[in-house]
Structures are given as C-alpha cells and as structure tokens.
C-alpha cells in the first residue's frame, strides 16, 4: 500500500472533505504515477477519461511533494476553479501548509496608470462604456487583487477594460509613476513566494518566450510543471513560438499615443494628427482584406493592390508617428514607451514582409506566413512548422518533472502524434479510461442514408436526420458544427421545423451572447437546443438532463486550405510521410473525443451521441475515430434513439 491509498480511500480525508466523493481506481493509479514522475523528475503524458477525477489525481501528489509547482490550465475558467475551489479543498483535506497563488496575464488586472489616463482623455464610444469605466474606478478603489473577474457588474467584453488595463507593449514597468499600486506586480510577487502557482497556457508560453509575465523568474525555481487540458499545447505553443502583428495593436498604440499626448504634450497637435492617421491606416488595412473569421496564406493577398497599398500606408503612418513621438518623448514616460512600441512595430512589420521572426524568439526551421481575418481586426503571422525543437529547449536545464494531462491525447493507446508535436520522445505515456457506465447510459447513433459531407445540401440532410432525435429528446440538445456557415444554416433549418410543428423548444446559437450567458440560459431552460461551433466543442460542462443529446454534423477535420495546416501537410509530404494518417487523422480523433465528451459528465448522466458524417462508418479511417469514442451501444436506427429517450430516467444511487 502506498502513502496515497488512504487519502483516496472510501473513508479517507478526501471523502470527508468533498461532497459526493467516489472511490475510483483510475484516480488513485493516476495519482501514484504522477507522484513517481515528480519524485524522479520524469516526463509523463497521461490521458484520463471523463470522470476519472484527474484534478485531484494531480493536486494530491503536487501538494505532498514539498517543492514548488506550476499548474497551467487551458482556460481561465478552470484556472479560477482550481485556485478558488479545488486547491483550498485538497490542501485542507491533506492538512498541508502549502501556499497558493493565482497568476493571470496582465490584461486581467486593472492598471491604475492607464485607468487614470482613460479618465483624463474621456474618449469612449458610448455612455454605457463610460458608465463601465466609472464602475471600474470604484472597483479599483476597493479590490485587493485588481482581477477583473471579481468586478461582476462590468461585462468581461466591455471596451472599457481595454483602456483600464495594460498590455505588454504599453506597460511602463518600474518607470511607472503608479508602480506601488500595480496589481500585476503584486500578483507576480505573490506567485514568487507561493509553493503552488496556477497559470494558464497562454500566460505560460507568453512568459517563457517573452520573459514578460513573471514566469521568467518562476520557472527556474520550480520543481514540477503540470499542464491540465494539455491537448491544447501544440497549437498555443505554435502561436507564441512565432510572431504576429495585428491591427488591434496598431489601434491600441494610436489610442495610447493620443492619451499620453493629451496628458504630457497637449500643446503639440502634430502628435494627435499622426496618431489619428495611424488609427485610420490600421482600420483601412483590415478593410483591404475581404471576409471574416478566415485564415489566408500571405501569398493570396500580398500582390493585391488594395492590401499592399494599405500595408505601405500603415508603415508610413507608423514612421510618421515615430517621428513626432521622438520629438516629444522626453516629456513623459508614457510618450517614451509609445516611441519604443512604434519602433518595435516597424521592425516586426518589416520582418513579416520578409517572412522572418525575431532571432530572440528561437525560431528554427521552416515557417509559414499567413493572415487571420476577424470581424473587426486583422493579424499578420509567422508560425514555425515544427515547434518540437523549441519546446524541448524550454524543458532543458534545471531538472524538474513535466506532467501533461487531458481527457483527449491519444489515438487508441497511441500518443506518438502528441509526443512528436512537442518533442516528448522519452516521455512515459499511460491511458485511463472513464469510470462512467457508457454501455447502459449512452447510445451512439450514426444515421443511415447521409449524403457526402461535401454535397451542396449536406446541412439540410443533417437537420432532417437530427430533427426526430431532437424531438424525441424534448430539446436538451447541443448541435456541434464544424464551421460557422454550417452552424447558421442548421439553425435556420431547425427554426423552420420548430415553427412548422409549433413546438415550444428554445433555440439558441453561439454568438447571441457570451459563452457563459448562453450556458446559463441553456441550463436554466432545461429543454433548449443550442447550435454552436468550435468554442463549444470543449471546456463546456452541462450536467444532468438539460443536455441529453449531442449532434455532430461532420468529422472535425481541419479545413485543408488552412494556411498553417497546408504548409505542415506539404512539409510532411516532402519528408516522405503520410500527412493524413500521421497528422490530420489524429487531430480529428482528438477533436471528436472532445466534442463527444460534452454528453456524459457524471455517473447519473445519460444521453445519445449522434454523428451524422457517413465517413465514420463508410471510410476505412473512420474506424480509428469509431474505436476512440466512448464504449456506448451503437445503432443506425432512429427507432433505438426514440426508445432510449422513452425509457424512464433512473434516479442516481
């Protein structure tokens, strides 16, 4: 018996501290393997199916290890949950004195300096935003942390936060006149002293690469790094190991230069004019590329007259602003900071045009140059095709344990896709299946007669096939789509069916409110249909009967015309590898497992997983996806789905 057995026992400290705690052999085994990895400074890659209880499985050995631990999560939601709920509960149950700290990116903390500047400038788009800013002022006066998550009466997406927080670029650091009131600095100092620090992946990589957010000092001192939701790491690491410049950064610079000018150089009007010129140039650059929510290879637009002209105008505007900032930079720290940012952006823009990135970023091997087009912004990106050597470099040096945990990392029992992506060639790997009773509580339905997913009327076929299942479930459905276009069309079709049959089932769609608001409404209504795209495929937890049917329109293969994917496929082809089998299919398997994982979230949950794509059963590679899904009963007949929902729900034991 190990030291961990009594802790996870039926009458152990966790069972006494946690309401509804259940003994799970998988959880104990996972905790034991993590404890061994921590003791041996090893690398462990662990897939733990939904319901394993992986959070406690890594928190217990982490808190007992006695060393400094960094826990990195995929979302701020999980980050807050760990810090505010899980860590305190486990720490109290174990009766250990480990200190804990929460560290977020600087955009999550009120900045007294920029808040003061925003009040002085008084330039907000609406009365509502001005009201939000006044609420933030009152919050800043009473808060101890400055964390905007605690300011509940100002929406997280309010534009007022943009002027009330700092960015890496506009932070004045030790030169700031408000440095003694800096919430970011306080959070970093707390993290320095704590035994366990909770961060998120974006912060981890931003800091490892940029030495910006306090991790530059944290990492050398730490004995263990634990990544939860680790399946997100390859994509996030790729973003940070490359380089980007966005129209949002240019607009932020323009705004900050105007505000600093009003405060420190009010008599110098050319600065205001140059800042306004940059703002317009940045907005025109976004308008020079048609479409929204798309990713394009740079080669597709570089030679187009509108884009090249707009890019040249931005460069001219940046240089013009730099000239005026240089003339005034000795009149205030904020103006000097804006000058430095302007010069950096000129250099980054030049490097993007050449298809390069800063040497300091440790960029190695081939890169892909591409654009991402949002509704109101545009980013210019350079991304390495192979991040493994760069990630390996971050792991070298001081001996420490590295734990990678997620519900979705393997294809079957095979981790090679994941380990190759991050260079984890010597890692130990292990899979623990879910303890949930999928055989009795779940049903996988693959409808017959579905057309080719590329056919013109595929969305109509999905809505037609899904409708009897949605009706049988009485709503209580997620319809997860692989594109925004499909999402909007399927929502239209379902609306028509609801009206035709006069069924009173609420129909929600991603984008009609924040993710949090939509989920709250979905849970509260109890019989809703939510049609969503990528952001609802993972990190969404709806327990109980409110979610009883998950419909997936297509196998989630990334679009082959995505510029980064296309470049990686070509690179693998040149190397003599089968890109589909070694890269695209494993990615689709992991995404599908994430989507399927929305359905059953605890022992009492039951429901139907409906996958409309005929390739699941009609293509040889579909078997790899089929085998990776939870071990539910399988059917091709809607009658079985209707019979499943007609069964009385058993009460939880």
Class at the top of the CATH hierarchy for domain 13-99+194-240+386-432 = alpha beta
Q: Which residues of 281-294 are buried (b: 16+ CB within 10 A; e: fewer)?
A: bbbbbbebbeeeeb
Distance CA 589, CA 570 (A): 21
Give residue limits of the domains in the chain. 13-99+194-240+386-432, 106-181, 248-356, 438-646
Averaged pLDDT of the chain: 90
Q: For tokens 């239209």, name the residue.
A: 492
Q: What is the mean pLDDT of residues 542-553?
A: 93
| Tens digits of residue pLDDT in 136-164 | 999 999 999 999 988 988 888 788 898 89
| Tens digits of residue pLDDT in 75-126 | 888 898 999 999 999 999 999 999 999 998 888 999 999 988 888 777 666 7
Q: How confident is the model at residue 129 (pLDDT cuts 50, 70, 90)?
A: confident
Per-residue three-class SS string for 81-107: HHHHHHHHHHHHHHCCCCCEEECCCHH
The enclosing H or E element of 608 equals strand 607-611
Distance CA 501, CA 365 (A): 58
The predicted structure's pLDDT at residue 580 = 93
| Tens digits of residue pLDDT in 578-621 | 999 999 999 999 999 999 989 998 888 999 999 999 999 999 99
Distance CA 542, CA 652 (A): 16
Nearest-5° angle of CA 379, CA 382, CA 388? 130
| Tens digits of residue pLDDT in 6-65 | 999 999 999 999 888 889 999 999 999 999 999 999 999 999 998 899 999 999 999 999
* Fold match flag (13-99+194-240+386-432 vs 438-646): yes
Is the pLDDT confidence value at 308 over 90? yes
- Please indicate whether residue 159 or residue 501 has the higher confidence score (pLDDT): 501
Where helices occur in 143-214 by DSSP H, the ranges are: 160-164, 183-193, 201-210
Is the pLDDT confidence value at 246 over 50? yes
Residue of 47, 105, 471, 99 lying closest to 228 (CA atoms) = 47
Q: Above pLDDT 90, what percent of the chain? A: 64
Report the range of poorest mean pLDDT among 278-287, 320-329, 347-356, 372-381. Answer: 347-356
DSSP lists the bridge partners of residue 370 as 297, 381
The predicted structure's pLDDT at residue 360 = 40
CATH topology for the 438-646 domain = Rossmann fold (3.40.50)
- Please indicate whether residue 397 or residue 533 has the higher confidence score (pLDDT): 533
Q: 506 by DSSP, 3-state: which? A: coil
C-alpha of 118 from chain center: 29
Q: Is the dihedral of CA 126, 128, 131, 137 positive or negative?
A: negative
The enclosing H or E element of 588 equals helix 585-596
Distance CA 569, CA 496 (A): 40
Is the pLDDT confidence value at 511 over 80? yes
The predicted structure's pLDDT at residue 208 = 65
The predicted structure's pLDDT at residue 550 = 96
Distance CA 8, CA 27 (A): 8
Q: How confident is the model at residue 427 (pLDDT cuts 50, 70, 90)?
A: very high
DSSP lists the bridge partners of residue 69 as 196, 224
Q: What is the mean pLDDT of residues 355-363?
A: 53
The predicted structure's pLDDT at residue 450 = 97
Residue 210 makes CB contacts below 8 A (sequence gap 6+) with: 168, 240
Q: How confident is the model at residue 359 (pLDDT cuts 50, 70, 90)?
A: very low
The predicted structure's pLDDT at residue 650 = 63
CA distances from 548 to 522, 523, 528, 541, 596 (A): 12, 12, 11, 12, 12
SS3 content of the chain, % helix, strand, coil (to 5): 50, 15, 35
- Please indicate whether residue 266 or residue 42 has the higher confidence score (pLDDT): 42
User: Token pair of 313, please?
Assistant: 């105008």
The predicted structure's pLDDT at residue 209 = 57
C-alpha of 353 from chain center: 28
Q: What is the mean pLDDT of residues 568-574?
A: 91
């Amino acid at each position: 018996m190990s030291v961990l057995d009594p802790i996870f026992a039926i009458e152990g400290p966790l069972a006494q501290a946690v309401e509804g705690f259940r003994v799970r052999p998988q959880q104990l085994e996972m905790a034991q393997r993590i404890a061994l990895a921590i003791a041996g400074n090893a690398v462990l890659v662990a897939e733990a199916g939904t319901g394993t209880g992986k959070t406690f499985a890594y928190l217990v050995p982490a808190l007992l290890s006695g060393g400094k631990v960094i826990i990195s999560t995929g979302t701020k939601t999980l980050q807050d949950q760990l810090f505010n709920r899980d860590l305190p509960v486990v720490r109290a149950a174990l009766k250990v004195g480990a200190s804990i700290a929460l560290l977020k990116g600087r955009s999550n903390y009120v900045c007294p300096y920029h808040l003061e500047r925003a009040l002085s400038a008084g330039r907000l788009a609406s009365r509502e935003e001005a009201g939000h800013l006044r609420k933030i002022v009152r919050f800043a006066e009473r808060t101890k942390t400055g964390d905007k998550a605690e300011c509940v009466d100002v929406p997280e997406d309010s534009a007022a936060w943009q002027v009330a927080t700092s960015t890496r670029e506009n932070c004045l650091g030790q030169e700031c006149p408000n440095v003694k009131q800096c919430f970011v600095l306080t959070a970093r100092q707390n993290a320095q002293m704590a035994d366990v620090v909770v961060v998120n992946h974006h912060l981890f990589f931003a800091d490892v690469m940029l030495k910006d957010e306090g991790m530059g000092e944290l990492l050398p001192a730490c004995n263990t790094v634990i990544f939860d939701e680790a399946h997100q790491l390859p994509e996030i690491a790729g973003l940070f190991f490359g380089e980007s410049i966005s129209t949002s950064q240019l607009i932020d610079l323009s705004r900050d230069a105007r505000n600093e000018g009003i405060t420190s150089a009010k008599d110098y009007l050319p600065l205001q004019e140059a800042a306004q010129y940059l703002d317009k140039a940045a907005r025109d650059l976004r308008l020079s590329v048609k479409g929204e929510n798309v990713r394009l290879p740079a080669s597709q637009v570089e030679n187009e007259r509108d884009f090249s002209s707009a890019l040249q105008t931005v460069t001219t505007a940046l240089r013009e602003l730099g000239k005026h900032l240089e003339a005034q930079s000795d009149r205030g720290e904020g103006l000097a900071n804006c000058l430095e940012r302007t010069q950096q952006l000129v250099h980054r823009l030049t490097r993007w045009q050449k298809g390069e990135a800063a040497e300091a970023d440790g960029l190695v091997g081939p890169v892909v140059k591409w654009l991402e087009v949002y509704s109101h912004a545009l980013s210019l990106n350079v991304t390495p095709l192979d991040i493994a050597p760069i990630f390996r470099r971050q792991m070298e040096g001081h001996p420490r344990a590295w734990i990678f945990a997620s519900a979705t990392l393997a294809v079957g029992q095979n981790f090679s896709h994941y380990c190759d992506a991050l260079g984890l060639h010597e890692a130990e790997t292990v899979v623990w299946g879910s303890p949930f009773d999928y055989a009795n509580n779940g049903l996988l339905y693959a409808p017959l007669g579905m057309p080719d997913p590329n056919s013109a009327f595929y969305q109509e076929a999905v809505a037609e096939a899904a409708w009897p299942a949605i009706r049988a479930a009485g709503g209580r459905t997620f319809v997860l789509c692989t594109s925004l276009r499909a999402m909007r069309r399927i929502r239209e079709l379902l609306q028509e069916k609801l009206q035709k049959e006069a069924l009173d089932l609420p129909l929600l769609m991603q984008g009609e409110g924040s993710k949090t608001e939509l989920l709250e409404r979905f849970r509260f209504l109890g019989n809703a249909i939510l049609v969503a795209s990528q952001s609802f495929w993972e990190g969404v937890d709806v327990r109980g009967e409110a979610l009883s049917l998950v419909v997936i329109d297509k196998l989630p293969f990334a679009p082959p015309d995505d510029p980064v994917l296309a470049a990686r496929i070509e690179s693998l082809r040149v190397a003599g590898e089968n890109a589909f089998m070694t890269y695209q299919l494993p990615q689709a398997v992991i995404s599908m497992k994430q989507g399927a994982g929305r359905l059953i979230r605890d022992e009492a949950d039951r429901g139907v997983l409906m996958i409309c794509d005929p390739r699941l059963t009609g293509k040889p590679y579909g078997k790899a996806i089929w085998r990776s899904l939870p071990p539910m009963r399988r059917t091709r007949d809607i009658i079985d789905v209707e019979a499943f929902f007609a069964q009385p729900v058993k009460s939880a034991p």
